[in-house]
Structure 1
Amino acid sequence: MKLFSLTVSLALLGTAFQAQAQTASSTKLGGTVTVWSWDSAAKGLQSTVPGFNKLYPNVKVNVVDLGNQNVYDRGLAGCAAGGADLPDVYSIENGEAEVFWARFPDCFTDLTSLGADKIFKNYPAFKWSELSVGSKRYAMPWDSGAVVMFYRRDLYQKAGINPASIRTWADFEAAGKKMASKGVKMGTIANGGDDEWFRMLANQNGCYYFNATATQITINQPGCVSALSTVQRLNSAGILATGDWNTQITNVKTSRVAGSLYGAWYEGTIRTNAPDQSGKWGVYLMPAAQAGGRRAANLGGSALALPAASKNKDAAWAFMQYALGTTQGQVTMLKADGLVPSLLSATKDPYISQAQPYWGNQKIWQTVLGTLPQIQSVRGSQFYQDAHQIMVVVQSDLLKGKYKTSKEALDDAASKIASATGLPMSK
């Protein structure tokens, strides 16, 4: 099913949901709703407050930017303390969400009790996989991390590279060698600090740390081996820079790299950190593993949860519905901070088809959102952090030459994850 030919019934569901939010304003909700979030996500939520207050003028929304790690750590501590000191609305990354549901199943409100079952089809299925336990929905989908390649038009042109000709990772490698001859890398990999390139390519190949039910370790299956082999090959070709989050941004600002492979939320990061490069950037689909293969994946993305201990649940739920369940709320955050909508009805908003000046007047949001139907679901599980930390080290060791092959490296990773989690390895 094409993203831009959604059924009429789905559009009606989205309209009904917005009408529900507007009708609820007649309940005269009041009080304060405290929201914990971080960085651009906090700014995005803050941008929706004026529109929300037109419907709910008596509700004060207090968005608190605590930083990503602090939100996670304080959330775990609050749940361990029976919900003490938690906010009314809690921001949570999809990949880390299942840690909370598994360890603290009573810490957050089951949103089906508030009507979330009626909006399930309003979002891509992959956004719900880590937010649900059986029939329970513990958080509401927020932004997506649809992966694309952000690239510098001017640098590609100087190197004689046509982005339309890059359809596979082999094409990307060949283009990277041309770019390297100009003293510029194709992108930055966070070797030793993260494994995001591996995760993006593994998701593209239908593989992840764990299987769809999070009951087996699948990190050494063929799709993952192919993904890590590609990362190893690109790194060995000398076409990628290495660096942490701040270094990656510096590489963009100083034109040391000609692009960034990331979830689409990175759009706001580039635009706000390199305003002087307006008009020089563009977007194309991530290369496929082989000709005709999938050119879509997801990296990151978040959700909003409602702590069970909230003393203003009705107002908190109303804010969540407005920010995440209405086209107006979702598009406001897209415009403000590049937070890519998960709400399917928002993909039909006229803004999505507008040319974006910073991106060389390309209609980038059509490209980005057009990949949503192709993204495959993954399960981070309650053991996400264990697997992630192990994989970061294994990938780094592979690129340092401590393993002969990617298969050997991933077999070792699978064994270590099994020891850390008690889960069996898939055969």
Structure 2
Amino acid sequence: MDVHLGRAALALAFALGATPAYSQSGELTVWSWNIAASSLEAVAEKFKEKHPDVEINVQDLGNDQVFDRLLAGCAAGGSGLPDIVSVENHEAEIFWAQFPGCFSDLTELGYTEEIASGFPEFKRTELEVGDAAYAMPWDSGPVVMFYRRDYYDKAGVDPQDIETWADFIQAGKKIMEANPGVVMTQADLNGDTEWFRMISNEQGCGYFSNDASAIRVNQPACVATLEAIKDVYDAGLLKAANWNEKIQSNTAGTVATQMYGGWYEGTIRSTSPEQAGQWGVYLMPSLSEDGPRAANLGGSALAIPAASENKDAAWAFVNYALGTNEGQVTMLREYGLVPSLLSALDAPYVQQEQPFWGGQKIWIDILGTLDKIEPSRGTPFFGDADQIVQDVQTQYLNGGFPDAKAALDSAAEQIELVTGLPVQE
């Protein structure tokens, strides 16, 4: 889940106001969306067993509604805000930058360094400002390759032999030849930058520097990323498909591989249940042999608005849901939300073979990459930068630039105009 284009500009348009704080004595109201809201409801049932006097009202408002209402509430000095709210990592810095007084500093409620150290650095980078922590890490999206075992087997391809993108291209040609009508993989090339963000994150690059002071989208690792995408595309292995089209391809059996964050496990399992045993997971390829093979796509956090009059109860729930294996694994088991908590790797459920995935212990493979993922700053300008890179990527794949460096130099110049940040030398 990612920030939408124009959100940064929208945030800048609001001015802070002053209205009375919101009060809900004895009850916690939580704003979230989709399966994230459902997972919090599941955790709330277990939390109630330990805290029977606290009522929890989880409201599924939808992603856009949560963002817009949170933005408006912060602009109004906290008026109408809930006790707990879901925030996507990449859009989080919009709020911290524009409305730093709108959220509770969790370090003042019990979020100690010992608790914080239980999460990987990449999940904390966008949630902490100086010594303050404005949100607690929730789900993450460790990137892996979801693949059809039967299609790979028919082509005589062992996924463990695919270590680089060159290996992936060679394997893809064999798989498509052995399975007529099947494409090797898909990406939303017309509406997203998902592949660029995943591979560049793997290579330690991104739109901005990790201190958010400069633009680095045209650095060598990012250039090599865009070149790799074009290599796969030019080989005829990568076809454009949006979210729904990918699900249709999975169900129809016309795609061999999907690269996504670990949360996509629940999507495949729930939308293609008749394919149990036919899917597996392996690590994403790298640009070179022995190169890094870990990245993140998506993920969110929970924050407590400063206007809440139930901060102690709100913190108790947040800490139970996100800071305990019981809370995190409940959400993983019930709804496929991938934990960010490193200790969850030791939970019995995570160690189990998963029947749908051919008996593979996929959560060991997926969660095992968490501590290898490099941080990647979204900054308040993520939405604007992402749209620029998306447009440049489309032009480049269609021959609009002489090479990847020229394409990303253009992107960097455009981002500089929008953000005022310098391009990293």
User: Common fold, TM-score beyond 0.5?
Assistant: yes
Report the secondary structure of 2:331's partner residue: helix
Counterpart in the other structure of 1:59: 54
> Percent same amino acid among aligned pairs?
55
Report the secondary structure of 1:290's partner residue: coil
Specify the code of the residue in structure 2 equivalent to 1:60. E
Specify the code of the residue in structure 2 equivalent to 1:265. W
Specify the code of the residue in structure 2 equivalent to 1:97. A
**Match 2:162 to one of 163, 166, 178:** 166
Aligned equivalents of 1:64 and 1:252: distance in 2?
31
The answer on 1:137 being equivalent to 2:133 is: yes
Counterpart in the other structure of 2:340: 342
Using a 3 Å threshold, how does the CA distance of structure 1 residues 69 and 187 change in structure 2: closer, same or farther? farther
Aligned equivalents of 1:391 and 1:167: distance in 2?
27
Aligned equivalents of 1:67 and 1:252: distance in 2?
25
CA offset at residue 423 of structure 1?
Answer: 0.2
Where does 1:325-336 land on structure 2 (aligned, <5 Å)? Answer: 325-336=323-334
Q: Deviations over 1:116-161 (max 9, x none)?
A: 1331211111110000111110000111211110111112112322
Where does 1:44-123 land on structure 2 (aligned, <5 Å)? Answer: 44-118=39-113, 119-123=115-119
**Match 1:201 to one of 199, 202, 206:** 199
Counterpart in the other structure of 2:283: 285
Q: Is the 8 A contact 1:151 1:281 kept in 2?
A: yes
Range with bigger deviation, 104-113 or 338-347: 338-347
The answer on 1:380 being equivalent to 2:363 is: no
Aligned equivalents of 2:402 and 2:73: distance in 1?
44
What is the TM-score of this pair, normalised by structure 2?
Answer: 0.92
CA offset at residue 395 of structure 1?
Answer: 0.9
Structure 1 portions without partners, runs of 5+: 1-28
Q: Is the 8 A contact 2:183 2:238 kept in 1?
A: yes
Counterpart in the other structure of 2:36: 41
Aligned equivalents of 1:229 and 1:65: distance in 2?
40
Aligned equivalents of 2:402 and 2:181: distance in 1?
29
Specify the code of the residue in structure 1 equivalent to 2:170. A
Q: Runs of 4+ in structure 1 displaced over 6 angstroms? A: none
Q: Is the 8 A contact 1:150 1:261 kept in 2?
A: yes
Specify the code of the residue in structure 2 equivalent to 1:146. P
Aligned equivalents of 2:25 and 2:155: distance in 1?
59
Q: Is the 8 A contact 1:32 1:60 kept in 2?
A: yes
Report the secondary structure of 2:157's partner residue: coil
Q: Deviations over 1:61-91 (max 9, x none)?
A: 1111122222222221221222222221111
**Match 2:153 to one of 151, 154, 157:** 157
Q: Deviations over 1:292-319 (max 9, x none)?
A: 1111111111100111112322221111
Counterpart in the other structure of 2:294: 296
CA offset at residue 186 of structure 1?
Answer: 2.0
Q: Is the 8 A contact 2:28 2:314 kept in 1?
A: yes
Specify the code of the residue in structure 1 equivalent to 2:421. L
Report the secondary structure of 2:402's partner residue: coil
Q: Is the 8 A contact 2:342 2:370 kept in 1?
A: no
Report the secondary structure of 1:40's partner residue: helix
Q: Deviations over 1:368-401 (max 9, x none)?
A: 1111121111111111111111111111111122
RMSD over equivalenced CA pairs, Å: 1.3
CA offset at residue 408 of structure 1?
Answer: 0.8
Q: Is the 8 A contact 1:334 1:341 kept in 2?
A: yes
Q: Is the 8 A contact 1:30 1:315 kept in 2?
A: no
Report the secondary structure of 2:329's partner residue: helix
CA offset at residue 325 of structure 1?
Answer: 0.8
Structure 2 portions without partners, runs of 5+: 1-23
Using a 3 Å threshold, how does the CA distance of structure 1 residues 79 and 30 change in structure 2: closer, same or farther? closer
Q: Is the 8 A contact 1:30 1:60 kept in 2?
A: no
Specify the code of the residue in structure 2 equivalent to 1:128. R
Report the secondary structure of 1:398's partner residue: helix
Aligned equivalents of 1:199 and 1:30: distance in 2?
43
Q: Is the 8 A contact 2:81 2:305 kept in 1?
A: yes
Counterpart in the other structure of 1:426: 424
Counterpart in the other structure of 1:7: none
Counterpart in the other structure of 2:10: none
Specify the code of the residue in structure 2 equivalent to 1:276. E
Specify the code of the residue in structure 1 equivalent to 2:206. Y
Aligned equivalents of 2:211 and 2:382: distance in 1?
13
Q: Deviations over 1:345-387 (max 9, x none)?
A: 2221111110000111100011011111211111111111111
CA offset at residue 30 of structure 1?
Answer: 6.8
Counterpart in the other structure of 2:271: 273
Range with bigger deviation, 195-204 or 269-278: 269-278
**Match 1:410 to one of 394, 408, 421:** 408
Q: Is the 8 A contact 1:30 1:59 kept in 2?
A: no
Report the secondary structure of 1:361's partner residue: coil
Q: Is the 8 A contact 1:394 1:410 kept in 2?
A: yes
Range with bigger deviation, 265-274 or 415-424: 265-274
Q: Is the 8 A contact 1:30 1:58 kept in 2?
A: no
**Match 1:305 to one of 294, 303, 306:** 303
